[in-house]
Structure 1
């Protein structure tokens, strides 16, 4: 029987914390119920662990009561870290768990973060040099705080050396299914997916992301260039012209742009154009080729390749999924 410790965070608790805690508890309980119905022993001992006797949110409307203080857990097999509020106070409050998480990992436990719980996991240092996913909206903040982690926000699940992370929101259910399959086999994972009506084997969150650009920086010329790009996606834009427009050499402009946005200017232009195309495919009735030409692509193969690289889907697939009139 594997011991699963679902961590109840400290500091400001968000609604997704409760959703993830309940979801994880329910998923592993479904597995236990499956075995119980067949007269076999449970696969998991599930325990809510924390530091406070009760954690509240929404002015006390909801609360979570850990069963055990985490310090009393001397050995566990899996630690689940749910989402936390993304502010300095909350992240600092959850550092109380760091020594315990690291010790358990060094003793053989696996660790899984759900959504922006990745910030707590990354704070332990265990993610340094490893791949990690989190909600696409939190990607820029994560990169600025944890530059030594290989962030891949296009993936729903990452797994490396006994450490697991997942993308945003309800995609944590896919990570839980992945863990069930690893511990109990494919048949049980499929059973849980059917009970929970969850699409199994979903591995990409790119179709759900919205490109908003990284503007949480103080480099004003770069910020102005970002706004110019986003407001002129149907125009021909060269990096040299952008640099001249904002009084910088091309080399200096490219360096500062990459540092501020985590994208090269060319990447940023491409992502802004694809975002424009996505919005047209979602809401408009334009022909795909017309939108392609509008943002400056003349080569269909290059356009399809760029679109799929960013969204994980071909333009026609994307339109069928998100445009209700198709």
Structure 2
């Protein structure tokens, strides 16, 4: 490590609407990490600074090795922040690592830094982000993606994951472990799909498809094969499949899988029913098929999900 700089300078970009908890929380994480690095002879340290970025006239991102765009709580998406976007492009071209959390990824997208690259953002923003930046290889099931000079993190509180990741990347895993233990946090191994909810589209205007959806909500354990759905809707299977996908964005089978697992999540969180009973309640007669589907969609086994999210745990 002798050829590496002794100090890594991190700039926390305080643009308009930036989440203050992320700005000051990241500052604390890096300060704690720097202290442990010093006490344990790591040979390097972190120097953090909150960088004012609301006024284009005084904006200055120079001197920072890593720049972090925190979440945004105002609903803005960075399209109008031309000075900040230009400064980010310039610093990236000069060799700085650029990172974002949650909606902060929109600023990177508008700066043209994500085209053709893997990235993540808050899963609730997926449709909006894909529409704005179709060239980005978006993976919202991931909570953090390190693409070397660009690092993106998902949900609003994923600044914790990003902060610890950057500590490990710059100061090593031992300092990262000491920092986690000091702060009593351990986000390692999380994925956004652990938290993601299925939100059916109902405002599409196709009344017959919407009636099917409402019937599924009331009885997810029912017979929801395509043939049965087509019979209920009074149309051919081919027409049903086409109209259903056009209205909801999902094939009928994919919709049923997602709806049933969402219902199962709720039962796991709010009841003490055994997993086998929950599987049956949402329409799975084969427990192994339920277990496989649940883990594919949520990233966790049903028992691990209950341990983490059960409201009465």
In which range does the TM-score fall when normalised by the shorter chain? 0.7 to 0.9
Residue 205 of structure 1 pairs with residue 192 of structure 2:
yes
Deviation at 1:144, TM superposition (A): 3.1
Shift of 1:36: 4.4
Residue of structure 2 in register with 1:22 after alignment: 24
- Structure 1: segments with no counterpart, 5+ residues: 54-65
Q: Is the 8 A contact 1:274 1:307 kept in 2?
A: yes
> Where does residue 57 of structure 1 map in the other structure?
none
Aligned twin of 1:81: 69
2:171 to 165, 184, 189: 184
- Report matched runs for 1:1-326 at 5 Å: 1-10=7-16, 13=17, 17-37=19-39, 43-52=45-54, 69-70=58-59, 72-85=60-73, 87=75, 90-214=77-201, 225-239=212-226, 242=229, 254=241, 258=245, 261-323=248-310
Shift of 1:127: 1.8
Describe the superposition over 1:76-135 as per-residue Cα deviations: whole angstroms up to 9, x where unpaired: 311100111464x55333343112112221222111111221222222222222222222
* Cα distance in 2 between the residues matched to 1:95 and 1:265: 43
TM-score (norm 2): 0.83
| Contact 1:134 1:167 (8 Å CA) reproduced | yes
Q: Distance in 2 between matches of 1:227 and 1:289?
A: 25
User: TM-score scaled by structure 1?
Assistant: 0.80
Deviation for aligned residue 1:237: 1.4
Q: How far is the alpha carbon of 1:32 from its aligned partner?
A: 2.4
- The question of whether the paired residues in 2 share the 8 Å contact of 1:174 and 1:202 is answered with no
Unaligned runs of 5+ in 2: 1-6
Contact in 1 for aligned 2:44/2:171 (Cα 8 Å) = no
Aligned residues: 307
Superposed CA deviations along residues 145-164 of structure 1, whole A, max 9, x for unmatched, are 33332322222211114211
- Cα deviation, 1:167-214, whole Å, max 9, x if unaligned, reads 213232112111110111011101111111110523313222222234
Q: 1:310 Cα shift?
A: 1.1
CA gap of 1:220–1:99, structure 2 versus 1, over 3 A, is farther
Contact 1:112 1:165 survives alignment (8 Å): yes
Moved more, 293-302 or 249-258: 249-258
